[in-house]
Structure 1
């Protein structure tokens, strides 16, 4: 069996070379696949550390922002058509620069107004 050892080493080296070549062929253009880039960017294990090109990182981030904005606009337009017209004060609160946070602050402010002030401070 000693005589077959160098030959086995040649087969292993050839197999490793063939596998490496096949992997490179299969995955060489993977950074141009949008789904792969978006999924990799969103995966907390990889984020953008796995990309070889800096342009892939920036493109993936920009595309994710675009998708989020589009989804948000779609949800807003769907909800706007289903909603009853808000009162003027609610409408102005919703369009304030704080958006959701200002609405939350207004809810807290209103709930504080509803708490009766008692003279039970002893």
Structure 2
């Protein structure tokens, strides 16, 4: 709305003069404030559009975009804006801090961010929050692994229920040995830790490779 009225400022001024009703005209300073506010609010409009998308998940972007807006506000406060514009920036900064000061501790947002290969734990400002998100992810993976292990065990028992698995002459003996050797070792918790750490290592290695390739080419 502000962008549009600033864009057609001359037409608005001319139209108001032609009216018989005595409208109060905006001063040059007020027009300048409108123009400054367009610059201030533009990043917020971009983030609103980004997080309102319905065609892809957006939860993992909340932390990085919140930090981005706070960084933008800090930069805007350094600029020689009108005092009114400065007050708006201060209020926006305060609103961000009040509403999102604890966003990194959100279980769903933290895990979503950790699972996003673009961000992982890199965008967390708090190492404690990053560690908590990692612990929560490990717990979720361990639970899924435990459920899968129970399901697989049940299916194996059903499959070989007609055989005597302890009989060395059983034709199912080879199958039983294969199934046993492919079952995950250790507890679901330890397997989950290995899985999460290996995934994190692959992503970090991939990031180093991309950076190296960029420098080379």
Fold-level similarity (TM above 0.5): yes
- Note the residue ranges of structure 2 that are not aligned, 5 or more in a row: 1-26, 34-81, 162-171, 185-217
Q: Are 2:144 and 1:71 equivalent residues in the alignment? A: yes
Distance of 1:73 and 1:85 partners within structure 2: 21
Match of 2:88 in 1: 15
1:88 to 141, 149, 173: 173
1:67-122, Cα deviation, whole Å (9 max, x unpaired)? 112112212223433441273322222222x658xxxxxxxxxxxxxxxxxxxxxx
Aligned residue among 11, 21, 38 for 2:111? 38
Structure 1: which 4+ aligned runs deviate by more than 4 Å? none
- Say whether residues 1:25 and 2:110 are aligned partners: no
Q: For 1:13 and 1:43, how far apart are their aligned partners in 2?
A: 35
Residue segments in structure 1 that go unaligned for 5+ positions in a row? 101-122
Cα distance change on mapping 1:62 and 1:91 into 2, 3 Å: farther
Residue matched to 1:50: 123
SS at match of 2:159: coil
**Residue of structure 1 aligned with 2:132, choices 34, 44, 59:** 59
Structure ranking higher on relative contact order (CA contacts 8 Å, 6+ apart): 2
Distance in 1 (alpha carbons) for counterparts of 2:90 and 2:154: 60
| CA deviation vs aligned residue, 1:28-61 (integer Å, no higher than 9, x gap) | 0111110010000011121111111212222222
Give the number of equivalent residue pairs: 97
